[in-house]
Amino acid sequence: MPKPKGLFSIGQIATTCGVSINALRFYETKTLIKPAHTEPESGYRYYSRENLLRLRAILRLKDAGLSLPEIKEYLDGDMDKGTKIAALEERRNALSIAIEDLKIRNTQPGELSVHKIYLPERLCLCRTIEAKDGESALSAIGAFYDELIYKGVQISRAWPEFCEYLDDGLLKGEFKVTDFVIHACLPVDKKNAPPEAVLYPSGNAVAVNYRGGYYDIWQAYEALAAYIDEHGYKPSGYPQEIYLETEADGSVQIDNAHNVTRVIIPI
């Protein structure tokens, strides 16, 4: 029997969309797509231009990281458009964070490129730590983690944990390695946040990524100070540090030359 006029074979549609015939058949079993016409005797499937557009939409959502059930809900479900947009924006933000994280981890020794960033609003559980040195600070931060784990507090994945240094002298070359005070800050989701959580507002900041042992991180502050002075910015908050490179077991070696620290100054 000749092919119906205006329709295309499964092979033609699969080739045009860059997928295998088996993949297209699999999407059919998941009721994501339905051929425009199926021959009752032979079972041959034929597809329309509208089928092609539907398949391209499926593939775009799949490339964005959605599962097949999620794609079906997006295309056929009762979810309103506002909810769909919010969900996709959340995925986009998560992907942007992952990309930025990889860029930071790609920082090379001696690379001190300062750039302007936008800090999102963050709700954090904070612990004030009076540290004798870097090792004692790490120990106290670890104890803070342990306490939250025992309490069953859920830590947000939307932003990494950070330390806020309560010191205005860091940008003036006064880098203390002993007897300093920090806030250890662990972001939490609003819906699960205890009442003592501290709100860090959204706003602009400057940041630099530094690879090297922690006691030489003064170089990052030196670069930030020069950048802020050159552009006429004014700090609006204390420095924040994010530690991104750890050992395989999650531990941190404070003087490891491979460590990567992101230093942020709100402006």
CA dist 202 and 258 (Å) reads 30
Domain 8-76 CATH (choose: 1.10.1660.10, 3.10.180.10, 1.20.272.10, 1.20.1070.10): 1.10.1660.10
Q: In the chain, where are the structural domains located?
A: 8-76, 114-266
The confidence score (pLDDT) of residue 94 equals 80
User: Which residues lie below 8 Å from residue 48, measured CB to CB, with a gap of 6+?
Assistant: 6, 7, 8, 36
Output the six-digit token pair for 138.
Answer: 């790490």
The confidence score (pLDDT) of residue 23 equals 95
CATH class of 114-266: alpha beta
The confidence score (pLDDT) of residue 246 equals 59
The confidence score (pLDDT) of residue 240 equals 96
CA dist 25 and 10 (Å) reads 9
* pLDDT tens-digit map of 198-210: 999 999 999 999 9
The Cα-based distances of 20 to 10, 27, 42, 55, 106 in angstroms read: 9, 11, 21, 12, 35
- In this prediction, the residues of the chain whose per-residue pLDDT falls under 70 are 1-2, 245-252
- The predicted model scores a pTM of 0.71
